[in-house]
């Protein structure tokens, strides 16, 4: 009997798409009981599909994506790549993720030859380092009866909140449209730069909408709010390693009309801005029986 793969090994396998034929790839699903496909998974897999059609000397610099339909976690996802443009400096790809014959996700990504130019970036916030912070499992342990096995499930990404997670903030009374977390892959990744970018893309969807809830005293999993990713945009500024600590500084400038907007800045451990993220999500109370009828 062999040991089960670690969560990180499972993530690496999840991002290793099957080549079907030119411009077509197939993504497997994790062996978990989920109601729908995690948004970070389909975004990460779609970026892998796009990246595998681009020369390795052109790293991705931006992606823009829409979540069109809930993904079915019981069947693989097919990714079709459209090679829109191969220019002298930039390469553009469009990827459509398909299940049951219908698109569930659409991504456009742009890749660029590395160039030298003017440089500046914002400063990383002054926050405690990750080593002295509790893991997500430790922070959520007081809620284990409420959350069931969710809180203790092994994860490929080590997440450590600088402040309070939404469920803790709901009780503590903290009301701020901001959330800061340290993250890193929980183990060592291979050196492939595309894999590191896709691992951060996977993780970027895990906590970004927290900032839309904390300010309102709401939390995931409590039954008083329904949420889902609607779109997702990322800009990659410099190379980084996803298996080294990075700070995810997240804020929400607006919520309304059943939606919430969140912005995130990802800094390397030495304080360099590596990635900028923007996402809009569905944020609304559960529908009543009368509203559904």
Beta strand extents in 140-242 (DSSP E only): 157-161, 178-185, 226-236
Q: Specify whether 126 is catalytic.
A: no
Tokens of 24: 């077509």
Q: Report how far residue 134's alpha carbon sits from residue 77's, in angstroms, rounded to the nearest whole number.
A: 35
Q: Specify whether 110 is catalytic.
A: no
DSSP label at 272? -
Q: Report how far residue 89's alpha carbon sits from residue 111's, in angstroms, rounded to the nearest whole number.
A: 8
CB 207 within 8 A of CB 249: no
Q: Specify whether 279 is catalytic.
A: yes
CA distances from 153 to 147, 159, 191, 212, 221 (A): 11, 13, 27, 25, 15
Given the residues 41, 45, 229, 250, select the one marked as catalytic: 229
3-state secondary structure 235-253: EECCCCCCCCCEEEEEEEE
Given the residues 45, 158, 164, 205, select the one marked as catalytic: 205
Sign of CA dihedral 102, 78, 71, 261: negative
What's the angle, vertex CA 9, arms to CA 8 and CA 15, rounded to 5?
A: 90
The set of residues, in sequence order, having a beta carbon less than 8 Å from that of 263 and lying 6+ positions away, is: 250, 251, 252, 253, 276, 277, 278
Which residues participate in catalysis according to the annotation?
205, 229, 279
């Amino acid at each position: 009997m062999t040991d089960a793969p670690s969560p990180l090994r499972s993530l690496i396998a999840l991002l290793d798409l099957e080549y079907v034929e030119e411009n077509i790839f197939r993504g497997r699903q994790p062996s978990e009981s989920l109601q729908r496909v995690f948004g970070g998974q389909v975004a990460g897999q779609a970026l892998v599909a796009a990246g595998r059609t681009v020369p390795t000397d052109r790293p991705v610099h931006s992606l823009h994506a829409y979540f069109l339909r809930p993904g079915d976690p019981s069947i693989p996802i097919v990714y079709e790549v459209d090679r829109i443009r191969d220019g002298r400096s930039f390469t553009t790809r469009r990827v459509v993720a398909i299940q049951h014959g219908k698109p569930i996700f659409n991504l456009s990504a742009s890749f660029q030859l590395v160039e030298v130019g003017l440089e500046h970036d914002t400063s990383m916030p002054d926050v405690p380092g990750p080593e002295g912070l509790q893991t997500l499992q430790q922070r959520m342990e007081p809620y284990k009866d409420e959350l069931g096995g969710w809180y203790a499930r092994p994860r490929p990404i080590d997440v450590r909140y600088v402040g309070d997670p939404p469920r803790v903030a709901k009780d503590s009374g903290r009301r701020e449209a901001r959330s800061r977390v340290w993250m890193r892959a929980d183990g060592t990744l291979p050196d492939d730069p595309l894999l590191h970018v896709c691992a951060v893309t996977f993780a970027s969807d895990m906590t970004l909408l927290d900032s839309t809830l904390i300010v309102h005293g709401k939390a995931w999993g409590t039954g008083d709010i329904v949420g889902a990713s609607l779109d997702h945009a990322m800009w990659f500024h410099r190379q980084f390693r996803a298996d080294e600590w990075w700070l995810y500084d997240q804020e929400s400038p607006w919520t309304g009309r059943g939606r919430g907007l969140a912005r995130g800045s990802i800094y390397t451990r030495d304080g360099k801005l590596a990635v900028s993220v923007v996402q809009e999500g569905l944020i609304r109370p559960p529908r009543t029986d009368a509203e559904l009828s």
